[in-house]
């Protein structure tokens, strides 16, 4: 019996979260060592069974709620390429990506499900990076409300991207990294729902559009400058720009005490720059460090209370 496996990486936003929702540029990169995987198998039982053993979950597609992103990812593929008879399948998802912590676990799960199911059904047109990203975006809308599209893009393409949300189609530019950037990704352990934070920023923007438009412009400028600094191979400048971006995120009220503690610990231990990554109010922070400082900053983050610290080298 046929089995098809596909996976997708975690991601971090290096620059421009929140502002990206409002059309400003942002930079995101994949973190390939933590991934979501989907396994599609032909089944002897009638219907499509969805399994998420890590979450202790098993249900039939027909029983799933509309708000279930796993089921939605499957339905989106079936709706986009209608088949005369629904196949009999078991779809299993597994993930090593921490959930609700700014690493794009939902997007990675959806991308893995969409790609593996499209491949399994021979729908090669739907299994391209571009299509996986577009279908994944529809699932993201369930999770986020008004996602910018950056998460689905970076997990589907699995490449660093400079991204601008725009009509009729988003600007997606992969970019070169002149000098490897050593990044630490530390988890505060605080769970934060992207949708809630994005909605709250939206309310604050409506109350004080002038202030928020200025903050978003500043974040966009920082993302532009960061792309140049990454291209030129100037990690010190990238670090300073991270610090600057964090000032704007703090003003947007999306930082938290835990995030600030970890950011301060990283800087004290010699990081070139540090900021929250993703929606904020919990989740992850990232620190850019010189190669020889990786262990020192990592240990400092752990003793400052980080629940876990991933090391990722952007090349
Ligand atoms: O929390 P995450 O990692 O899913 O990132 C959200 C990024 C935002 O800019 C806050 C929202 C978005 O859709 O881009």
Residues forming beta bridges with residue 29, ordered by sequence position: 12
Return the minimum-mean-pLDDT range out of 58-67, 233-242, 271-280. Answer: 58-67
Catalytic residues: 151
Which residue minimizes the CA distance to atom 14 of ligand 1?
148
- What's the CA gap between 111 and 76, in Å, rounded? 11
pTM score: 0.91
Ligand 1 atom having least distance to the Cα of 106: 4
Instruction: Identify which of 14, 136, 198 to mutate to test ligand 1's pocket (most ligand atoms within 8 A of the CB).
Output: 198
Q: What is the pLDDT of residue 85?
A: 82
Q: What are residue 129's phi and psi, to 5 degrees? A: -55, -45
pLDDT band at 10; cut points 50, 70, 90: very high
- What's the CA gap between 36 and 108, in Å, rounded? 6
- What's the CA gap between 281 and 204, in Å, rounded? 15
Helix locations, the chain, DSSP H: 69-80, 105-120, 129-144, 150-157, 194-207, 209-232, 235-251, 257-268, 294-303
Measuring CA to CA, which residue among 248, 299, 251, 292 is closest to residue 272?
292
- For residue 170, the CA-to-ligand 1 centroid distance in Å is 16
Rg over CA atoms, the chain: 20
Ligand 1 atom having least distance to the Cα of 147: 13
3-state secondary structure of 139: helix
- For residue 89, the CA-to-ligand 1 centroid distance in Å is 32
For the residues 153-160, what does the mean pLDDT come to?
94
For the residues 250-274, what does the mean pLDDT come to?
98
- For residue 109, the CA-to-ligand 1 centroid distance in Å is 15
For the residues 227-235, what does the mean pLDDT come to?
95
- For residue 121, the CA-to-ligand 1 centroid distance in Å is 31
85: Cα separation from own chain's centroid: 34
For the residues 24-33, what does the mean pLDDT come to?
95
Pocket residues: Cβ below 6 A from ligand 1: 13, 17-18, 20-21, 102, 104, 144, 147-148, 150-151, 194, 198, 278-279
């Amino acid at each position: 019996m046929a089995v098809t496996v596909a996976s997708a990486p975690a991601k971090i936003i290096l620059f421009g979260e929140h502002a990206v929702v409002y059309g400003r540029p942002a930079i995101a990169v994949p973190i390939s060592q933590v991934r979501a995987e989907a396994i599609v198998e032909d089944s002897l039982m009638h219907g499509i069974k969805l399994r998420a053993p890590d979450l202790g979950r098993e249900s039939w597609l027909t029983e799933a709620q509309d708000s279930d992103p796993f089921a939605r990812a499957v339905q989106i593929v079936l709706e986009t390429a209608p088949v005369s008879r629904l196949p009999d399948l078991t779809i299993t998802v597994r993930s090593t990506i921490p959930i609700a912590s700014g690493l794009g676990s939902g997007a990675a799960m959806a991308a893995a499900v969409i790609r593996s199911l499209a491949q399994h059904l021979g729908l090669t047109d739907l299994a391209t990076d571009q299509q996986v990203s577009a279908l994944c975006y529809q699932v993201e809308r369930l999770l986020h409300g008004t996602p910018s599209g950056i998460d689905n893009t970076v997990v589907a393409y699995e490449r660093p991207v400079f991204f601008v949300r725009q009509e009729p189609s988003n600007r997606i530019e992969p970019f070169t990294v002149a000098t490897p950037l050593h990044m630490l990704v530390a988890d505060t352990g605080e769970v934060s729902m992207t949708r809630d934070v994005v909605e709250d920023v939206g309310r604050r923007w409506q109350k004080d559009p002038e202030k928020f438009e200025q903050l978003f412009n500043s974040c966009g400028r920082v993302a532009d400058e960061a792309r140049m600094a990454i291209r030129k191979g100037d990690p010190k400048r990238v670090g300073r720009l991270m610090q600057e971006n964090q000032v704007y995120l703090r003003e947007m009220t999306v930082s938290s005490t835990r995030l600030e503690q970890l950011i301060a610990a990283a800087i004290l231990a010699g990081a070139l720059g540090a900021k929250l990554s993703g929606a904020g109010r919990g989740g992850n922070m990232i620190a850019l460090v010189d190669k020889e400082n990786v262990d020192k900053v990592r240990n400092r983050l752990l003793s400052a209370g980080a629940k876990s610290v991933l090391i990722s080298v952007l090349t």
